[in-house]
């Protein structure tokens, strides 16, 4: 079975400071990892993904994530937070072992304080 953990329900960060939203995963094979963002009254939007290759993945809106196989983590990062980054962030995993089911975490609310 595959699973995702987002240990923080909410992360608060001051505008201009770096931000990190944590994610750890568990799969039986190799993972495909995704980050999605959900703004109020809007659908989930894809931010970035890790498939293979470079452990540091760059995505939309200046976000990046680092895949760490030994720690089974895929933390989302941004060097300088904007107030407009305030939203709900979901980490998701899919096992590369042939399964199409994507498992999402419970989400982390990011609040960027002006």
Partner 1 sequence: GAGVSQTPSNKVTEKGKYVELRCDPISGHTALYWYRQSLGQGPEFLIYFQGTGAADDSGLPNDRFFAVRPEGSVSTLKIQRTERGDSAVYLCASSPLGGAGDEAFFGQGTRLTVV
Q: Minimal distance in Å, beta carbon 73 to partner 1?
A: 17
Which residues in the 8-67 window bind partner 1 by CB under 8 A?
Answer: 32, 34, 36, 41-46, 49, 51
Q: Minimal distance in Å, beta carbon 108 to partner 1?
A: 10
**Size of residue set near partner 1 by CB under 8 A:** 26
Under 8 Å between Cβ of 34 and 25? no
Q: Minimal distance in Å, beta carbon 10 to partner 1?
A: 12
Among 15, 20, 75, 104, which residue sits at the site for partner 1 (rule: CB under 8 A)? 104
What burial class does residue 93 get, using C-beta atoms within 10 Å of its C-beta: 0-12 exposed, 13-18 middle, 19+ buried? buried
Residue closer to partner 1, measured from CB, 46 or 61 = 46
Q: Minimal distance in Å, beta carbon 20 to partner 1?
A: 19
Instruction: Give the DSSP letter of residue 101.
Output: -
Under 8 Å between Cβ of 33 and 74? yes
The SS3 of residue 65 is: strand
* Interacting residues with partner 1 (CB under 8 A): 4, 32, 34, 36, 41-46, 49, 51, 90, 92, 94, 96, 98-107
């Amino acid at each position: 079975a595959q699973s995702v953990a987002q240990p923080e329900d909410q992360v608060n960060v001051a505008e201009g400071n770096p931000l990190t939203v944590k994610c750890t995963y568990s799969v039986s094979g190799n993972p495909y990892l995704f980050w999605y963002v959900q703004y109020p009254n809007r659908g989930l939007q894809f931010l970035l993904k890790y498939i293979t290759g470079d452990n540091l993945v760059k995505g939309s809106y200046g976000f990046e994530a680092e895949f760490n196989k030994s720690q089974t983590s895929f933390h989302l990062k941004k060097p300088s937070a904007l107030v407009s980054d305030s939203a709900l962030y979901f980490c998701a995993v899919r096992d590369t072992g042939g399964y199409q089911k994507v498992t999402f975490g419970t989400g982390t609310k990011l609040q960027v304080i002006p």
